[in-house]
Amino acid sequence: MAWDQYLEDRIRQAFKEKGVSFEAKKMFNGLCFMVDDKMCCGIHFDKKKNTDLLMARIGEEASEEAMKREGCYPMDYTDRPMKGYVFVTPNGFDLDEDLAYWIKLCIDFNPLAKASKRKKKV
């Protein structure tokens, strides 16, 4: 499933403006932006809602305050929310200043995030 190219461009531009090196990888029905080999944020197409969501890895501490913002809810694939991750609906990131808020939270948390364990190649 394709995701919103315009949202992808906006996220890329936000990282570039902040001077953050990143890599984009296809995963989870969308696109994930990796910073320092760690998931930072991404675009996820929600089939049930038929819309793109912003996936933000912001940490547990920031999640509590962020949940008060419009369009924000826990990231949940299996009826068990992932701690420190949230989804944001389009009405929560449509404005440039709203998207900048989420990207800043993701970038600020990234140095504290743990990287996934690498699989050993045989």
CATH code of residue 23:
3.90.1150.30
Q: Is residue 82 part of a domain?
A: yes
Q: Say how far apart CA 109 and CA 61 lie, in whole Å.
A: 10
The pTM (predicted TM-score) of the whole model is 0.89
Largest CA distance in the chain: 47
Q: Say how far apart CA 53 and CA 46 lie, in whole Å.
A: 7
Domain that holds residue 83: 5-111
Cα distances from 72 to residues 105, 115, 116, in angstroms, run 13, 24, 25
Look at residue 39 in the predicted model and tell me its pLDDT.
94
Q: Is residue 18 part of a domain?
A: yes
Look at residue 2 in the predicted model and tell me its pLDDT.
77
Q: Is residue 121 part of a domain?
A: no
Look at residue 115 in the predicted model and tell me its pLDDT.
80
Q: What are phi and psi of 34, to 5 degrees?
A: -105, 135
Look at residue 114 in the predicted model and tell me its pLDDT.
86
Q: Is residue 95 part of a domain?
A: yes
94: left (phi over 0), alpha (psi -120 to 50) or beta: alpha
Look at residue 1 in the predicted model and tell me its pLDDT.
52
Residue 57 pairs with which residues in a beta bridge? 85
Cβ atoms 43, 6 nearer than 8 A: no
Look at residue 62 in the predicted model and tell me its pLDDT.
95
Look at residue 81 in the predicted model and tell me its pLDDT.
86
28: left (phi over 0), alpha (psi -120 to 50) or beta: left
Q: Number of structural domains, the chain?
A: 1
Q: Is residue 38 part of a domain?
A: yes
Structure tokens at 120: 């050993």
Q: Is residue 88 part of a domain?
A: yes
Q: Is residue 94 part of a domain?
A: yes
Q: Is residue 119 part of a domain?
A: no
Q: What is the pLDDT along the chain (122 residues), one digit of tens a residue?
A: 578 899 999 999 999 999 999 999 998 778 999 999 999 999 998 888 889 999 999 999 999 999 999 999 999 877 788 899 999 999 999 999 999 999 999 999 999 998 876 665 65
